[in-house]
Amino acid sequence: MSWLKPLLIALALLGAWQTVVFVFDTPPYILPGPERVLLVWVDNWVLIAGHATTTVLEIVLGLVLGALLGILTAVTMAFFRPAHSWLMPVLVVSQALPVFALAPILVLWLGYGLASKVAMAVLIIYFPVTAACYDGLRHVPRGWLDLARTMGASPRSVLRHVQFPAALPALASGLRIAASVAPIGAIVGEWVGSSRGLGYLMLHANARMQVDLMFAALFTLGIFAVALYFALDWGLGKLLYWHPQTAR
């Protein structure tokens, strides 16, 4: 019954929202009620779905590329000591510079299309994935490495059969954070410059005072973001069948 509580919370929030609209009688161009948003969502679902496809693609591509890049960086840092001192500044800069500040430049360089948004999502998840994976690789129990050594394992074999599985729980935490922040990158990118996507649709609707459509787009994004997180969490739980804290 783990789904019951989130469902109840969602229903309670919807109820509160409806109450606010009812009590204060807010005009629909300031705060539309849930019923109205639902109607607009149904009326415009083709439009919303079209834009959502773009945003989903940006987020998923960003997540996949960012995760691969992060894992690759972590492995490089863990295995070539000198690489650590070279890559660490890059990592810190990637995290310290607000992605909002870089967005205009990335759009200028990579254009209005998919690439600039994917780049933004990659940038935002690069640090959490790399840091988590690196930590995991560094903290493999020494006894396991010693044992593998006495068994004559090659460094590649140790990476594949010992270090990587041992680092997986840590990497999983990084990936969960990545899944929850990747949408930020994509939406910011769409706000700065785009012709498609849910972020674009929201800006557009806002400018035309279609606040109900804006809400409909926002909910679509929220539902997808939550679904993405739980899908990833579920998949990681399957992969970590042996890990008491995450197994399912």
Partner 1 sequence: MRAPPTVLLKDVSVVFDGFVLFDGLSLELGAGEWTCVLGRSGTGKSTLGRLVVGLDTGTRPSGDLHDERGNPLTGRVAWMAQEDLLFPWLTVIENVALGARLRREQAPERQRQAHGLLKRVGLAGIEDALPGTLSGGMRQRVALARTLMEDRDVVVLDEPFASVDAITRAELQELAFEVLQDRTILLITHDPLEALRVGHAVFVLSEVPASRLTPVPVEGTPLREIDSPAVARAHGELLRQIAGTEG
Contact 215, 72 (CB under 8 A): no
Contact 112, 194 (CB under 8 A): yes
Establish if 248 lies at the interface with partner 1 (CB under 8 A). no
Contact 118, 141 (CB under 8 A): no
Establish if 152 lies at the interface with partner 1 (CB under 8 A). yes
C-alpha Rg value of the chain to the nearest Å: 22
CA separation (Å) from 29 to 26, 206, 218?
A: 8, 9, 15
Minimum CB separation of residue 151 from partner 1 in Å reads: 4
Q: CA angle 61-66-71, nearest 5°?
A: 135
Minimum CB separation of residue 71 from partner 1 in Å reads: 18
Closest by Cα among 171, 69, 76, 77 to 118 = 69
Size of the site for partner 1 (CB under 8 A): 21
Distance CA 1, CA 111 (A): 46
CB nearer to partner 1: pick between 35 and 146: 146
Minimum CB separation of residue 178 from partner 1 in Å reads: 22
Establish if 150 lies at the interface with partner 1 (CB under 8 A). yes
Tell which one of 157, 195, 230, 235 touches partner 1 (CB under 8 A). 157
Tell which one of 20, 42, 97, 147 touches partner 1 (CB under 8 A). 147
Minimum CB separation of residue 215 from partner 1 in Å reads: 45
Minimum CB separation of residue 243 from partner 1 in Å reads: 7
CB nearer to partner 1: pick between 34 and 165: 165
Closest by Cα among 141, 133, 119 to 170 = 133
Minimum CB separation of residue 145 from partner 1 in Å reads: 9
* 3-state SS, residue 121: helix
Contact 196, 123 (CB under 8 A): no
Sign for the pseudo-dihedral over CA of 205, 211, 212, 217: positive
Tell which one of 46, 207, 244, 245 touches partner 1 (CB under 8 A). 244
| Residue appearing with tokens 């959502």 | 52
Binding mask 167-186 for partner 1 (x = CB under 8 A): -x------------------
Minimum CB separation of residue 115 from partner 1 in Å reads: 37
CB nearer to partner 1: pick between 82 and 244: 244
- Summarize as ranges the residues that interact with partner 1 (CB under 8 A): 141, 143-144, 146-153, 157-158, 161-162, 165, 168, 241-244
